[in-house]
Amino acid sequence: MLSEKSIPTRERLIVALDVPGIEDAKQLVTTLGDEVVFYKLGLELFMSGDYDALIDWLKAQGKKVFADLKFHDVPETVARAVRQLARRDVDFATVHGGNDAMLKAAADAKGGVRILAVTVLTSLNQDDLEDLGFQCAVKDLVLSRARRALELGCDGVISSGLEAAELRECLGERFLIVSPGIRPLENRLVDDQKRVVTVEEAFMKGADYIVVGRPIRDAGDPRAKAREIQAKIEDLFAGS
């Protein structure tokens, strides 16, 4: 299931900048240096008021940017928001995958931004879905949402590595799978992520990219941890 897309190996690691503000983000990016090319910016940074400035700074450093704002609103509002991101030279953006009109609006407005549909958050498990009223297995909901998103023009999906293999088997190779919830074996029960996999598991099941936040940010030596993960990725894709 190893991805055969022509993605530079070092870009397959996306680091989540889950920090309070722009100076914290810049410090982490500077610490990681050339070990990391791709960064995810989420809601915490958006609420800091420095989101656009950080995007511009990252692009000036030659980095790629994933705007993880998980748009979920009236379709026209989502379309307008996506157009704003396109003007800022963002590479990836997320839209919740539960509404066809919203997904199509985002896909139609994307310009150069690749739209990723969120299938099921990795912080949710089967019990959580049942509490929300879904009477189906997690993997079935992920597959259903992914299929519709791709038919509507999205470029890929956000999915746990646990479902990546089935997505590839059922939907093929011509879309992106970005997998968050990456945890070393020893860290699987220490935070709010429930559907987690290791670096190797995610890629061997068909992920194109992985998103890693806390295991790098909270490491004693973040640069060394990023280097360790990059080495694992390079070993996996050597000769591919």
* CA 210/CA 3 separation, integer angstroms: 12
Active site residue 70: yes
Q: State phi, psi for 136 to the nearest 5 degrees.
A: -155, 165
DSSP-derived secondary structure for 43-77: HHHHHHT-HHHHHHHHHHTT-EEEEEEEE-S-HHH
**Active-site annotation holder among 70, 104, 110, 225:** 70
HSE-up of residue 62 (Cα within 13 Å, Cβ side): 7
Which of 87, 57, 51 lies closest to 69, judged by CA?
51
CA of residue 101 relative to chain centroid, distance: 22
**Tokens 């994933």 sit on residue:** 66
Q: Which residue numbers are catalytic?
A: 70
